[in-house]
Amino acid sequence: MSALAIILAKRGYSISGSDKKDSHSLKHLAAQGIKIFKDQNSKNIQELCKGNFLQPLIVVSTAVPANNSELRAAKKNGLKIAHRSDILAALIKKQASIAVAGSHGKTTTSTFIATLLTKSNQDPTAVIGGVLPYLNTNGHVGRGKWLVAEADESDGSLLKFKAEIGVITNLELDHTDHYTDLKALIKTMKSFGRNCKQLLANNDCPNIRKNIKATAWWSTKTIKGVDFAALPKKIHGNKTIADIYEKGQLIGQIEIPIPGIHNLSNAIAAIAACRLAGISFDLLRKNLYYLKTPGRRFEFRGIWQGRQIVDDYAHHPSEVEATLKMARLMINSDAIPLPKSPKRIVTIFQAHRYSRLQQFLNDFAIALGESDLILIAPIYSAGETPIKGVNNEILLSCIRKHYSSIPILIANELNKLPHLLEKNTQEDDLILTLGAGDINKLWGILQPYKENNKWEGSQIAA
């Protein structure tokens, strides 16, 4: 929503909006000249309608409930209401677009594509769900041919997008509030693929390989039957070196300044998409140095009492597993993207939605096993009604069934975490906050938590 607001404002539209919670994103929007209402009530709609020759178009996301006071007022006044996907679909229709879909890695892959196109003098427009480090925004109005968009599958609205190049990173069941089963998700993704002139897909994902018809494939495991492959040669805690193949032919070697096989997959997907967009491999290889993950993707926040704090958006078992495996590469290693080598992994996990925790309870328990200490933060409901019997105590019990030796603690409030961390962690720990909710607020809570002047450091972007 914020990226769309920025792009429309820069293209000359008069934009205003509101949110129930204050955030850095709202401050950024206000700095762009966008009017921000401090609260959500029907008076905002009345104010917009006064003195305007044209009636305002009201744009909502799936997260806005039907009983929202502004939405009800808009309907009462007969205003046209559009879903955010309608606006994005209109932008995609107006220019050549690369739309990135999939269960995991959408934001990172979109960020990589937008960065590589920018450094290749293409100046793309970008509509992404996270802050793109190279441009320091999630919404950028470019003057070039291409638009790069993150195509969110959570509510099925990506079926409105008709992109020049579609990308599907992987497929796993998620968003069970919308999809009844994996078949329903696959059906949606098939339709998305048919809407794209070219479809680039991940051959390493069985659910894609068996069900989706792509015009081009990529892999990090094989060169057989794929158009683009990145086979890892060396994997370090701060970079990955790989051989690159096109149509089975070795064309060169790359080094990406980001660890993890999942990020290598995101990188080769981005390279492949740019190759389909007509960018030379030599130009792309030269600019891989500029790749950085978007905000909340293994984002280093600072040092607190000798502990390094890293925040990550992982909120699905596969994402948790991938993030922890990547973190494990950095333990007692000199090849790291952090200020110093950590000795233990302390995971603070916040479940996002009761329905997701219920669906993947055992998978979450197994994925968290790479930790040396686990702290379970309060569940982030994302507007869901609590489900009876789905709570953090159940998650704790499930983890202990698999890993009896890992110490586990539960925090009933975010504000309790600093005390638990001070009492149960030690210097040189890597503290990972995982989740798509408000667990990223921990850094702000830790900053004023000073005892004996132990606190040190400041916010540092990864």
Q: Are 346 and 432 in contact (CB under 8 A)?
A: yes
From 196, 154, 157, select the one nearest 177 (Cα to Cα): 154
Distance between CA 274 and CA 258 in Å, rounded? Answer: 19
Per-residue pLDDT tens over the stretch 290-320:
999 998 999 999 999 999 999 999 999 999 9
Both tokens assigned to 405: 């030796």
Distance between CA 117 and CA 119 in Å, rounded? Answer: 6
Stretches where the chain sits below pLDDT 70 are: 51, 449-462
pLDDT of residue 368: 98
3-state secondary structure (DSSP) of residue 317: helix
pLDDT of residue 21: 80
DSSP 19: -
3-state secondary structure (DSSP) of residue 209: helix
Q: Are 431 and 346 in contact (CB under 8 A)?
A: yes
Q: Are 60 and 40 in contact (CB under 8 A)?
A: no
The CA angle 271-184-129, to the nearest 5 degrees, is: 40
Both tokens assigned to 21: 């919670």
Q: Are 219 and 202 in contact (CB under 8 A)?
A: yes
pLDDT of residue 451: 46
Q: Are 184 and 156 in contact (CB under 8 A)?
A: no
- Is the model's pTM score more than 0.85? yes
Distance between CA 106 and CA 444 in Å, rounded? Answer: 27
Per-residue pLDDT tens over the stretch 338-358:
999 999 999 999 999 999 999
Sign of CA dihedral 314, 315, 318, 320: positive
Domains of the chain: 2-79 (3.40.50.720), 86-290 (3.40.1190.10), 299-446 (3.90.190.20)
pLDDT of residue 449: 65
Q: Are 217 and 225 in contact (CB under 8 A)?
A: yes
Q: Are 293 and 108 in contact (CB under 8 A)?
A: yes
